[in-house]
Amino acid sequence: MAFIQVIDDESSVCWAIEKLGTKLGHEVRVASTAEKGLDLLQEKHPDLMFLDVRLPGMSGLEALPKVKSIAPETPVVLITAFGDLEVAVEAVRQGTFDYLVKPFSIEDIQTVIDRALAKPSEVADVRPETVSAEMVGTSAAMQQVFKRIALAARSMAPIVIQGESGTGKELVAQAIHRYGPRHDRPFVTVNIAALAPSLIESELFGHVRGAFTHAIQDKPGFLQQADGGTLFLDEVAEIPLPTQAKLLRALEQQEVVPVGGSSGKKVDFRIVCASHQDLSACVKQGAFRHDLLFRLNTFHIELPPLRQRREDIAPLVYHFLQQLEEKYEKPLRISPSAMEDLEQRPWYGNVRELRNAIEHAQILARGGVIEKEHLPPPVTKDWFDGAGGEESQEDRLTADIRAWTRQETGRGSTENLWGRFQTLAEKEILRELLEECDGQYLAIARILGIHRTTVKKKCEQYGLLSPEQPDE
């Protein structure tokens, strides 16, 4: 039989834990304030304590260090009415065993009791620091995300964050760094998708003077810049295969060899990666190395799309309104019908789209109440890869261009890559337009917005001249 103590001013919570605890054969004592609970604690140390964060008088978070100093061996489960990232981080930091977000079920209480009584409590060794409310989310899914951020922050393990565009992957990476032991060291963000494929390797690993035509001096890469801190690789699936092999080597050996260099430099950084793609699927398609994924994916955080956690919409709206109020120094309000509209939208662009919609609306509302008509139209599915929308012709084309580039660099066939691509593209555009315009150079030139003689020269160069050229 174990001894469980509950400190909560809500009688229904005390009743539920008392009833279940007694049924499981334990002794349960309840107190409605932290002060009363601490008195009881002096008398006898419990095997498990449930502690509410919001209490009349001393709060749960204030009481927690006192509980820890009186009964350091007691696992403490924090109870919160709303769980935000700060509570999660504070809970982990102060060595609480777990936390429960109200409303919770009897099964949740039982799971926590079973785990706590089976396992000694863990004491966190992360130092205290001031935290700010930068990530919003009251949904159960976001509560899980907050818990995982808090746990991830304590370790130096590589983390993979997955989620659609705009779900907050970068924010999660920043939080992991900020709440981690190296928060005062550099946080280096690299968006791989924004780099030219031919430059990815030298941007990541740096280069030595003379490594290529424009390498006029040694330049350290992002891996070196992150030394001592965190390297955040956004859209990691876009790294070309040969560079993936080099990254794996660097991670295994904790050493960076710059492009054109012969010796490595020791580096020590934490790696956090993000992708909107399913990396396991990329491995199956041969676009991502399985050994690299295995190395990176020690701990996984999945960010659900906003449409799957609609209860987060209103808190996010108020959060963004508050940010804008601070920026424009004036109070902002939103009408119930506008809020209802926002709560029903599909949000294919996720939180980023919501933030932009609020900013757009407050400009149109000119300081008045934000109404439905001030909101921009919702973004449609086909804007986003991975949102399940129909792929547009342009999406397919850009995906093909990238696949081709990857294939060529993967084979080491990089000679005159740009020129070969231009030839491929130009030839096919001209071939199509020659047909559409009956071979008239002037008409083609008008469509393409280039000079007629350029069209003629290119057609000759690509051998596209037809014997019946009407304007020749």
Ligand X SMILES: Nc1ncnc2c1ncn2[C@@H]1O[C@H](COP(=O)(O)OP(=O)(O)OP(=O)(O)O)[C@@H](O)[C@H]1O
d(CA 463, CA 441): 14
**Which of 226, 354 has the CB closer to ligand X?**
354
d(CA 267, CA 249): 12
- The nearest distance, CB 94 to ligand X, in angstroms, is 23
Residue nearest to ligand X (CB): 168
Retrieve residue 369's tokens: 């109440």
**Which of 28, 135 has the CB closer to ligand X?**
135
Q: What is the 3-state secondary structure (H, E, C) of 422-434?
A: HHHHHHHHHHHHH
Query: What separation, in Å, do the N-terminal and C-terminal C-alpha atoms of the chain show?
Result: 100
Closest CA to 77 of 52, 59, 50: 50
**Which of 80, 167 has the CB closer to ligand X?**
167
- The nearest distance, CB 173 to ligand X, in angstroms, is 8
**Which of 307, 420 has the CB closer to ligand X?**
307
Give me the residues that bind ligand X (CB under 6 A), please.
135-137, 163, 165-171, 234, 276, 316, 319, 351-352, 355
- The nearest distance, CB 188 to ligand X, in angstroms, is 15
- The nearest distance, CB 192 to ligand X, in angstroms, is 11
**Which of 121, 350 has the CB closer to ligand X?**
350
- The nearest distance, CB 148 to ligand X, in angstroms, is 14
- The nearest distance, CB 135 to ligand X, in angstroms, is 4
**Which of 363, 442 has the CB closer to ligand X?**
363
Retrieve residue 308's tokens: 């799957």
d(CA 250, CA 273): 15
**Which of 154, 355 has the CB closer to ligand X?**
355
- The nearest distance, CB 84 to ligand X, in angstroms, is 10
d(CA 139, CA 130): 24
**Which of 169, 289 has the CB closer to ligand X?**
169
- The nearest distance, CB 312 to ligand X, in angstroms, is 7
- The nearest distance, CB 368 to ligand X, in angstroms, is 25
**Which of 121, 165 has the CB closer to ligand X?**
165
Retrieve residue 89's tokens: 């981080």
d(CA 228, CA 244): 22
**Which of 116, 296 has the CB closer to ligand X?**
296
CA distances for 99 relative to 39, 49, 144, 266, 442, angstroms: 23, 11, 11, 40, 72
AA letter at 163: G
Query: Which positions ≥6 away from 88 have C-beta within 8 Å?
Result: 99, 143, 146, 147, 149, 150
Retrieve residue 114's tokens: 């079973």
**Which of 64, 135 has the CB closer to ligand X?**
135
Query: How many whole angstroms from its chain centre is CA 230?
Result: 14
- The nearest distance, CB 327 to ligand X, in angstroms, is 13
Could you count the other beta carbons within 10 Å of the beta carbon of residue 367?
Answer: 11
d(CA 3, CA 411): 66
- The nearest distance, CB 234 to ligand X, in angstroms, is 5
- The nearest distance, CB 442 to ligand X, in angstroms, is 43
**Which of 13, 192 has the CB closer to ligand X?**
192
